[in-house]
A and B are shown apart, each in its own frame.
Chain A
Amino acid sequence: MIAAAILPVVLVTLLIGIHGVAAMRTTSDFLVASRRISPMVNAAAVAGEYLSAASFLGVAGLMVKNGVGALWYPVGFTAGYIAMLALVAAPMRRTGALTVPDFAEARLGSPALRKLSAVVVLVIGGLYAVPQFQAAGLVLNVVSGAPYWFGVVLAGAAVSVTLALGGMRAATYVQAFQFVLKLVLFTVPAVWLLVVAGPDTRRDALEPLEFTTFHRETSVQFQIGTELVVAEPTPVRVGDGSVRELAPGRYAAAEGSRWTFPAGAAVPEVDGAARPGSTEWLQPLADPSDTGHPVLATWSLLMATVLGTMGLPHIIVRFHTSPDGRSARRTAAITVGLLGAFYLFPVVYGALGAVLRPELYLAGATDTVVVALPATVDTGTTGAVFTALLTAGASAAFLATSLGLLLALSGAVSHDLVPGTLRRLRLTTFAVAGVIVLLALPAARFDVGLLVTSAFAVAASTFCPLLVLGIWWPRLTASGAIAGVLVGLVSSAGVIGANLALGVPSGGIAVVLGQPALWSVPLAFATMILVSLRGEPPPWATAALLRLHLGDGVATR
């Protein structure tokens, strides 16, 4: 059933890819096609590449785990395209640069900055790709019972083979199709769930009660080792053993173990997650690391997502398919609308998941709530069909984003860092996929949301100041840009690396250390401006900048 759902996605993706290549044999065909790609199709392609497993599965999962505040993530993801539209899209297209490293060299003429930017691409792409592979492993585990590592390795193989077969060559049409596919596979099951769930569940979902007692016998399959805080004597059966009563205290549930709680037992608490339905869960602000300053934490999240979008390596390339600056700008504007339509629906899965499968928050498996819901409301064939549809959508989301990321990462390695031939580029792709699989294997315990936000935070602290100042400030110098990117990279990626290695610090300090974007972005901007002011831009800098703002058709004369 599940294989029957995933295979068509891969096959149709490949078919459109091959057909697209076959249809564009001659030079003129190619030219006409590339000129005629309308902003609408291109916007669908951008949205198709952008809607990753983190959007398809992660947002609803975060809502079950951390509460209503998780809905701020997609708001930031969408608003990022307005920043892109207003500040970056058209001028960036007019430089003819395909990537930020290209842009850095075109505007500032510094090979050192180009290499540094390529390193930043690797950091951002890695932070973004690992959670995609991780989600693939988790979903496969839930729907088929295969072990986590198997899913991750399978995902790596699928992506590499698709790339090797050239399935992404007609990338624009593939991605545009993928957007429509994901939109349909996400919205139709959402509506079906709302209808089938019935009026009582719908009412419960709107007014969730705190998840304090199990209403029916519930098995919790722990995805990751979890520490449970038991506040009152709780009967439980571990694995197939007999029922015993836990005295109040802390208990460690081993990874992979299954604990069965009888109906009426009290629900243990988990550190770092909010009980579905609790006051903390209902708070409409994003404070995943429990800083006690929810407004600042929400701001930091917004800062990262809104300003980070323009620096994502796999997205900037997409705008190049637009024939000129003007249609690049239109593409960005339409993307805002398309993403908005998609992001109206994660709340449906999140709210239903919080009342129907609240125990996922104990198991550390909230990222699977989207695919777990259909079987919960309908145990028959219809439920299985919808599980398959959602799994297909999730794999489409995973494939689209991973393919784009893998290409961007391999490009950075073989184009900017160690220039090589096309054959090398192919080999690099396999090597990069292998590295990401290795990174994703031990990453099961990290939050999909945390990792994706980290990628945005690094992009916002490095490429955002580079692009914005490079496009709008004639006095920017190469040394200023290098200093700013370095400071932004070290402060954002350094803090995130420490968090991943040592755990996010608890309490008020987490405002500074949990989500660095709120201070690292201004710091990078300030460094770039101050260092630039101490130097002199080259005499051609003003002309280089003005050309980016001249209407289309003039700059290339």
Chain B
Amino acid sequence: MTRQRRVAVTSPQTRMALARRPGAPGRLPHLAPDDADRAWRTYREQRRQAAVAVAVVVLLLFGLPVVLAVLPQLGESRVAGIRVAWLAVGVLPYPVLAALAFWQLRRAERAEDRT
């Protein structure tokens, strides 16, 4: 059995990060004009999408306590013998959050593919 020489293996990104010396980026970041155009378009599109996604999450999560506080009788009512308030806090958020995550994931990937 031949002994293989052991080499430290890192991804290109890690090498880039390691190559940076303290003080300033080791190689000044620079983009070809074509790339820069494309990057601007992706950046703007994804910024818009990210803002929408975060806004939806904030609206749902910060809105739910208000709804529960303003309409205590809604929380007191029962669905299948379980208080709506318990379902609203303990069960409902998880499928909704998972759906939101996959929605945002698809939008972000499509924006990258388009540009």
Contact indicator A82/B100 (Cβ below 8 Å) = yes
Chain A residues near B39 (CB-CB < 8 A)? 546-547, 549-550
Q: Which of B57-109 contact A (CB under 8 A)?
A: 57, 61-62, 65-66, 68-69, 75, 81-83, 85-86, 88-91, 93-95, 97-98, 100-102, 104-105, 108-109
B112/A326 in contact, CB under 8 A:
yes
Residues of chain B from 36 to 56 with CB closer than 8 A to chain A in the complex: 36, 38-40, 42-43, 46-47, 49-50, 53-54
B residues in contact with A96, CB < 8 Å = 11-17
B92, chain A: closest CB distance, angstroms: 9
Contacts of A332 in B (CB 8 A): 101
Residue pair A344, B42 in contact (C-beta under 8 Å): no
- The answer on a CB contact under 8 Å between B14 and A78 is no
A1-46 interface with B by 8 A CB criterion: 25-27, 30-31, 34
Partner-binding segment picked from A295-303, A369-377, A396-404, A441-449: A295-303
Could you tell me if A344 and B49 are in contact, using CB atoms closer than 8 angstroms? no
Given A87-B50, A294-B65, A556-B16, A82-B23 contact (CB < 8 Å): no
Which chain B residues numbered 7 to 40 have a C-beta less than 8 Å away from chain A?
A: 7, 9, 11-17, 20, 22-25, 28-31, 35-36, 38-40
Q: B15 to nearest A CB, angstroms?
A: 8
A158 part of interface (Cβ distance < 8 Å)? no
Q: How far is the CB of A286 from chain B (nearest CB, A)?
A: 8
Closest chain-A Cβ to B50's Cβ sits at a distance in Å of: 4
**Are B38 and A550 within 8 A (Cβ)?**
yes
CB–CB A87/B13 < 8 A: no
With contact pairs A82-B57, A302-B61, A340-B97 given, residues A329 and B105 touching in the complex (Cβ less than 8 Å) = yes
Give the number of residues in A that approach B within 8 Å (Cβ atoms).
71
Chain A residue nearest in CB terms to B115? A551
Q: Is the CB of A344 within 8 A of B91?
A: yes
The segment from A101-109, A160-168, A254-262, A506-514 that touches chain B is: A101-109
Task: Let me know if A546 and B36 touch, CB within 8 A.
Answer: yes
Would you call A295 and B29 a contact (CB within 8 A)?
no
* Inter-chain contacts of B104 with A (CB < 8 A): 82, 85-86, 333
Q: A90, B23: Cβ atoms under 8 Å?
A: no
Say whether A68 faces chain B, with CB atoms less than 8 Å apart: yes
User: How far does the Cβ of A172 sit from chain B's closest Cβ, in whole Å?
Assistant: 14
A105-B20 CB under 8 A given contacts A82-B57, A540-B25? yes
Asked whether A184 is an interface residue with its Cβ less than 8 Å from the other chain, the reply is: no
Give CA–CA (A340, B98) in the complex, Å.
Answer: 7
The answer to whether the Cβ of A529 comes within 8 Å of any Cβ in the partner chain is: no
Mask of A539-557 contacts with B, CB within 8 angstroms, 1/0: 0100111110111001110
Q: A78-B93, A98-B17 are in contact. Are A285 and B7 (CB under 8 A)?
A: no
Interface contact A340-B88, CB-CB below 8 Å: no
Whole-angstrom CA separation of A512 from B40 in the bound complex: 40
- Tell me the nearest residue of chain B to A330, going by C-beta: B105
User: Would B29 and A544 count as touching, CB distance under 8 A?
Assistant: yes
* A299 x B65 contact (CB < 8 A): yes
From residue A531, how far is it (CB to closest CB) to chain B in Å? 20
Instruction: Give which listed residue, A294, A326, A340, A351, contacts B69 with CB less than 8 A.
Output: A294
Q: Which of B6, B75, B91 contacts A27 (CB 8 A)?
A: B6
Nearest-neighbour CB distance to chain A for B72, whole angstroms, equals 8
B38's nearest neighbour on chain A, judged by CB, is A550
| Inter-chain contact A551/B42, CB cutoff 8 Å | yes
Question: A31 with B112: in contact, given A71-B90, A86-B53, A550-B35 (CB under 8 Å)?
Answer: no
With A86-B50, A106-B20 as known contacts, state yes or no: A299 contacts B57, CB within 8 Å: no
In the assembled complex, how far is the CB of residue A206 from the closest CB belonging to chain B, in whole angstroms? 6
Count of interface residues, chain B, beta-carbon cutoff 8 Å: 64
Closest residue of chain B to A337, judged by CB?
B98
- Nearest A residue to B14, CB-CB: A96
Complex contact B86–A347 (CB within 8 A): yes
In this assembly, does A75 line the interface, its C-beta being within 8 Å of a C-beta of chain B? yes
Tell yes or no: A173 within 8 A of B by CB. Answer: no
Assembled-state Cα–Cα distance A38/B106 (Å): 17
Give the residues in chain B near A434, CB-CB below 8 Å: none
| Interface status of A183 (Cβ within 8 A of chain B) | no
Chain B residues in 8 Å Cβ range of A343: 94
1/0 per position for A273-307, CB-CB distance to B under 8 A?
00000000010110000000011001100100010
Tell me the smallest distance from the CB of B86 to a CB of chain A, in Å: 6
A520 on interface, CB distance cutoff 8 Å: no
In contact, A336 and B90 (Cβ under 8 angstroms): no
Contacts of A102 in B (CB 8 A): 17
Residue numbers in A under 8 Å from B36 (CB-CB): 543, 546
Cβ–Cβ < 8 Å partners of B98 in chain A = 336-337, 340
Chain A contacts with B in 314-348, Cβ cutoff 8 A? 320, 323, 326, 329-330, 332-333, 336-337, 340-341, 343-344, 347
Q: Is A177 interfacial (CB-CB < 8 Å)?
A: no
A472–B101 touching, CB < 8 Å:
no
A71 close to B89 (CB less than 8 A)? yes
Q: A31-B9, A79-B57, A340-B95 are in contact. Are A333 and B105 (CB under 8 A)?
A: yes
Do A82 and B53 contact each other (CB < 8 Å), given the known contacts A333-B102, A333-B105, A556-B16? Answer: yes
Given contacts A86-B53, A340-B94, 20 further A-B contacts (CB under 8 A): A27-B7, A34-B11, A72-B89, A75-B93, A78-B93, A78-B97, A79-B97, A109-B24, A206-B81, A206-B82, A284-B85, A285-B65, A298-B65, A336-B100, A344-B91, A543-B30, A546-B36, A547-B31, A549-B39, A556-B12
The interface of chain A, by Cβ under 8 A from chain B, is 25-27, 30-31, 34, 68-69, 71-72, 75-76, 78-79, 81-83, 85-87, 90, 93-98, 102, 105-106, 109, 111, 114, 206, 282, 284-285, 294-295, 298-299, 302, 306, 320, 323, 326, 329-330, 332-333, 336-337, 340-341, 343-344, 347, 351, 472, 540, 543-547, 549-551, 554-556
Closest CB pairs A-B (n = 6): A96-B13, A340-B94, A96-B17, A284-B85, A546-B39, A336-B101
- List 6 A–B pairs whose Cβ atoms lie within 8 Å, in order of A's numbering: A72-B65, A85-B108, A96-B16, A337-B101, A340-B98, A550-B39
